[in-house]
Each structure stands twice: as C-alpha cells, then as structure tokens.
Amino acid sequence: MHLDPFELHRPTSVDETVALAREHQGRFDYLAGGTDLLPNYKMHLNLRPHLVALEDVGELRGHSLERLGAMARLADLERDAELARAWPALGDAVREVATPLVRASGTVGGNLLVETRCFFFNQSYFWRASLGFCLKADGDRCHVVPQKTTCYATFSGDLAPALLVADAEVELAGPTGRRTIPLEQLYDATGDGIRRLTLAPGELLVAVRLPSSARGRRGRYLKLRVRPAYDFPELGVAVAGRWSDDGRVEELRLAVGGADPRPRRFDELTRPLEGERLDDRRRRELGAEVARRVRPVHNTFLAPEYRKKMVAVYVRRALEASAPADA
Ligand SMILES: Cc1cc2nc3c(=O)[nH]c(=O)nc-3n(C[C@H](O)[C@H](O)[C@H](O)COP(=O)(O)OP(=O)(O)OC[C@H]3O[C@@H](n4cnc5c(N)ncnc54)[C@H](O)[C@@H]3O)c2cc1C
Ligand code: SF4
C-alpha cells in the first residue's frame, strides 16, 4: 500500500486554516496526527488532493484542566496526573487508546473526529474491489445490512464517551465564523456512519472545553477490545457522577461508544436516578436498559449479540467502579 501524491498546506493561524478550507472546499482533509487519516489514504479510502496540516496552528496546541487544544497530543494528556484526577474517565480513556506510538502522534481533535469503522471498509482497495466496494467508499450498497441505503459503520473513538460524561463543549471555527456547542451535538443523531458529524463544510475543531461545574466527579471509562495492547473499542462505557455522604446519587452521566455510528449519552435514563441509592439490582436494570437502546451490527471482530450483552455488563461494572464504597 502506498500514499498517492497530495498537496500539503501548512497554515499557522485559525484564520489562515479556515481560508484554506474555503478555497479547497470538498477537495481537502485536515491532517492532525495522521494516525487515522493516513492509513485510510493508504487504503485509498475517500482520498482528497489537498491536506491542510494543523501542526503549526498555535491556537490548537496545549491543554489545561479547563481546555484541551484540538492538537493536544494524547501522550501529553496521559502524562498529566492532575488531569486524570480532575477528569477520571478521561484519564482512563486516554491510556486505553491504541498504543504508546499512536498516542505520541494522535491528537484530541483527531480522536473525536476519527473515521467510523467497519470490517468491510477498513480494507485495502484490492480487498474492497473484490467485493464490489460499499456505500462509504466507491460503492452503492452496504454489505452489513444490504436491504438498506444506510451505513452502520461504528464510531470507535475512546475519548468521546469520557468527554461526554464531563459535559464537554467543543469550540469550532468555520468559513462563517466561530461557535461553541455541547460535544454531544457534534455527532449527528439522525446521521449514519457516513454523515456522522454536524460540522459545516470546512469547519475546524479548535478545542474542547471542560466546565468546572463537572470537575472532580467520580468516574471510570471501561473498554472492551480483543487485543488489550492495541485494538479499537468494541465497546466503551464512561460514567461520571457525584454521590452524597449517605450514598445517594446527586448527579450521574453515562455514555457509550463503540456500539453505534455515534457516541451517546443516556441522560433520559440517569437523570431519574438522582436522589436514589444505586444498589446492584438498580445497576443491572440500568445496564439492561442501555443495552436495549444500542444497536451494534456485525461489522467488527465481536458478534453484535455479544457486544450488546456486554453493554449491560460494562455499564454495571463502570457504575460499581465509580461509586464510593459505601454507596
Ligand atoms: C493501530 C491503530 C490502533 C488504533 N486504536 C485506537 C483505539 O484503540 N482507540 C481510538 O480511539 N483510536 C484508535 N486509533 C485511531 C487513531 O489513531 C486515534 O483515534 C487518534 O487519536 C486520531 O488522532 P489523529 O490526530 O492521528 O487524527 P488524524 O488521523 O490526523 O485525523 C482523523 C480525522 O479527523 C479529522 N481532523 C483531525 N483534527 C481535526 C480538527 N482539529 N478539526 C477538524 N477535523 C480534524 C481529520 O481530517 C481526519 O478525518 C488507532 C489507530 C491505529 C493506526
Ligand atoms: S456499514 Fe455498510 S456501508 Fe457502512 S462501511 Fe460497512 S459495509 Fe460500508
């Protein structure tokens, strides 16, 4: 596999970046760490003739307890013990992404916008050609659910669920200006594995904001994968919450990734639990209810029936691990 030629642009400011986006609209991709994009390019997946590298855009770099620049490296987050104490689910999730080598290059923005994955998509051109391609690249049908014109490719980033339970917001900059939206709204609730984001054409992710009101919640991120040292999530469950001294839930967030084309938070299930004690029965009930709402399909290593069952198990375990011992 080889990389086809492309023209590389190296802007140094957000304004310059957005101007390039306007100039090359529909014919470029942003390049962050390249750990997702470049392997996909080598497989000839949706190639563009222009790449706009974000490396030199100062405003996108660095991180603090309140703000993660889109170009903050995962390895830098991983080394920050204070960040992991303030945002425990995020601390877990960062450590679980891929390998140390990938985390050295991989960025926060690239992780949140990572391409959705499917066994029939993440393959070489030759492999895909032999099957007749698919909706997500070069083809006109889905091999997973052939009777539909929808793509079921799975969102497989680790950071999104952990940032969803932190009530994170994202700063965006595009040809029509700047805006800030809740992270959950970055992912299209009506979309599929292709139209998975609500970003406007050319819109750039500048940073993630972490609200101080959510800091210090107890929490965990638990990940199911085949090879623990390496693989994408087959499922990722994040929990964050606060408990009163007498063990009642004061606030609770729960999010799931790796199961659907977008990561999701389940406020409609967790909000009614505020004020309650979450005993083992209630944790199991919540796990079963979340499992009923996710729809994994057969496009990754593990069978969807198994992944669905594991949703219930991982929700229960993440809740157990997050709650204080006497709750
Ligand atoms: C072997 C291997 C294992 C992996 N395992 C995991 C895993 O376990 N968990 C996991 O979450 N990921 C995994 N990944 C995927 C990937 O490495 C990570 O998600 C990484 O964080 C992506 O970041 P990046 O900076 O390299 O993104 P890039 O590859 O540079 O970009 C990814 C996508 O985001 C877009 N993009 C990037 N930054 C911006 C921005 N600021 N604004 C707008 N668009 C932007 C790019 O155009 C591209 O479409 C793995 C990858 C490999 C190669
Ligand atoms: S779910 Fe279907 S359309 Fe989407 S990537 Fe897989 S095979 Fe292609």
| Pocket of ligand 2 contains residue 155 by CB under 6 Å | no
Q: Which ligand gives the minimal distance to the CA of 159?
A: 1
Q: Which ligand gives the minimal distance to the CA of 70?
A: 1
- The pLDDT score that the predictor gives to residue 228 is 87
**DSSP state string for 123-186:** S-HHHHHHHT-BTTBB-S--SSSTT-S---PBP--SHHHHHHTTT-EEEEEETTEEEEEEGGGG
Q: Which ligand gives the minimal distance to the CA of 150?
A: 2
* 216-322 CATH choice from 3.90.1580.10, 3.40.640.10, 3.30.390.50, 3.40.225.10: 3.30.390.50
Cα(213) to centroid(ligand 2), Å: 39
- The pLDDT score that the predictor gives to residue 64 is 98
- pLDDT one-digit tens code per residue, 269-285: 999 999 999 999 999 99
Q: With a cut of 50, which residues of the chain have pLDDT below it? A: none
Cα(110) to centroid(ligand 2), Å: 21
- The pLDDT score that the predictor gives to residue 326 is 76
**Assessment of whether the complete model's pTM goes beyond 0.85:** yes
* 60-212 CATH choice from 3.90.1530.10, 3.30.465.10, 3.40.80.10, 3.40.630.30: 3.30.465.10
| Pocket of ligand 2 contains residue 207 by CB under 6 Å | no
Which ligand 2 atom is the nearest neighbour of the CA of 142?
2
Cα(115) to centroid(ligand 1), Å: 7
- The pLDDT score that the predictor gives to residue 1 is 75
The ranges assigned to domains in the chain are 60-212, 216-322
Query: What are phi and psi for residue 180, nearest 5 degrees?
Result: -125, 130
- The pLDDT score that the predictor gives to residue 312 is 98
Bridge partners of 177, per DSSP, are: 174
- The pLDDT score that the predictor gives to residue 175 is 86
Q: 183 with 168: CB under 8 angstroms?
A: yes
- The pLDDT score that the predictor gives to residue 2 is 84
Cα(275) to centroid(ligand 2), Å: 42
| Pocket of ligand 1 contains residue 59 by CB under 6 Å | no
Quick one: angle between helices 280-293 and 304-322, nearest 10?
140
